[in-house]
């Protein structure tokens, strides 16, 4: 195999920030929604979305070189990737593309050198109200963020339910489970189980409508309050928000509530032990810049879980981007 030209490697990386920005803008102005199966010219699309025809044509030319849309003989067609940018696609990724294009993400990288030098999130320098406080102060951005998380869950939740055998458990607790998308799906697939949704008081208040005979709600802070008793604990894309010290504290809080033999399922993107490109390695940098969190390898999770009183059993891949790390309380 021919090695990549080192100049080409560096120039693509050094000047490549325009590529995701093109995707963000195309998602924001709704280009994929402007046509379906009939090919369109860039001028036709520009008229529909309020864009400059020449500028849009050049943006689509670049995106098509990376598999987003197809540009042939002056006409634009959908590719499998661009169809996922349609708002009406069942697995639409338009909300995610819009979310990554928010100012909060890009401005954090203006100060990213600070993160590399200190290990602290660069967002601290631009967000005096904090990452989560920003969305409270900017409801339009908060709505886009929530839509992105919902879109992501549409793919991840069915994959998690299909990727693990939940039937042995009588009680399943979802720690930091938000509005209960995952727990509700697990309970629906396992009619004999009962569930407890644990999250901050304001989140639980928003989720009040999901409570029922088999699903109870418990408000609290996992750094301060006792967690529910359960046979199985779920914690999905929560640990990656936190550094090692805080993550170990969360695991210790779960272990204090868990009986010996109880299972803990850490549902995250696992960083593979190789030098190949992988989305988890990019997401890891986003977590550093925005929250001071991190994506981890199986071994890094093992190091955090062992002193907290859990033994890693195995990692279950799923058909989505997340894996299920299964641990057992010792």
Closest CA to 134 of 107, 110, 115, 113: 107
CA–CA distance from 307 to each of 23, 154, 229, 293, 312 (Å)?
Answer: 43, 34, 20, 20, 12
Cα end-to-end distance, the chain, whole Å = 48
Half-sphere exposure of 74 (CA within 13 A, CB side): 3
Alpha-helical runs (H) found in the chain: 6-14, 18-29, 42-49, 53-64, 80-83, 94-100, 103-110, 112-118, 131-137, 139-163, 181-189, 201-206, 244-257, 279-290, 298-308
Active-site choice (24, 78, 181, 240): 240
Query: Is residue 235 helix, strand or coil?
Result: strand
Closest CA to 17 of 62, 67, 78: 62
Q: What is the largest CA-CA distance in the chain?
A: 65
278 noted as active-site residue: no
Which pair of structure tokens corresponds to residue 26?
């195309």
Which pair of structure tokens corresponds to residue 157?
């939740």
Active-site positions read 240
């Amino acid at each position: 195999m021919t090695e990549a030209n080192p100049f080409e490697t560096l120039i693509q990386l050094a000047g490549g920030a325009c590529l995701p920005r093109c995707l963000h803008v195309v998602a924001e102005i709704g280009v994929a929604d402007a046509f379906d199966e009939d090919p369109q010219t860039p001028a036709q699309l520009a008229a529909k979305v309020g864009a400059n025809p020449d500028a849009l044509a050049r943006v689509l030319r670049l995106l098509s070189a990376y598999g987003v849309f197809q540009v042939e003989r002056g006409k634009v067609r959908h590719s499998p990737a661009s169809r996922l940018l349609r708002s009406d696609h069942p697995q639409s990724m338009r909300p995610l593309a819009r979310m990554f294009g928010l100012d909060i993400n890009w401005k954090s990288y203006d100060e990213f050198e600070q993160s590399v030098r200190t290990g602290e999130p660069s967002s601290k320098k631009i967000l005096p109200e904090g990452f989560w406080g920003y969305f409270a102060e900017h409801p339009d951005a908060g709505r886009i963020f929530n839509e992105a998380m919902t879109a992501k869950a549409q793919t991840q939740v069915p994959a998690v339910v299909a990727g693990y055998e939940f039937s042995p458990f009588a009680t399943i607790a979802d720690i930091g489970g938000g509005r209960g998308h995952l727990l509700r799906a697990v309970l629906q697939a396992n009619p004999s189980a009962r569930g407890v949704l644990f999250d901050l008081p304001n989140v639980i208040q928003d989720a009040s409508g999901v409570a029922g005979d088999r699903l109870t709600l418990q408000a609290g802070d996992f750094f301060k309050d006792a967690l529910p008793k359960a046979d199985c604990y779920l914690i999905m894309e929560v640990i990656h928000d936190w550094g090692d010290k805080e993550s170990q504290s969360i695991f210790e809080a779960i272990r204090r509530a868990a009986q010996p033999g109880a299972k803990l399922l850490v549902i995250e993107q696992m960083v593979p032990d190789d030098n190949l490109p992988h989305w988890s390695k990019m997401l890891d940098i986003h977590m550093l810049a925005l929250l001071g969190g991190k994506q981890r390898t199986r071994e890094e999770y093992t190091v955090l879980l062992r002193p907290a009183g859990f033994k890693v059993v195995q990692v279950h891949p799923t058909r989505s981007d997340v894996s299920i790390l299964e641990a057992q309380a010792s």
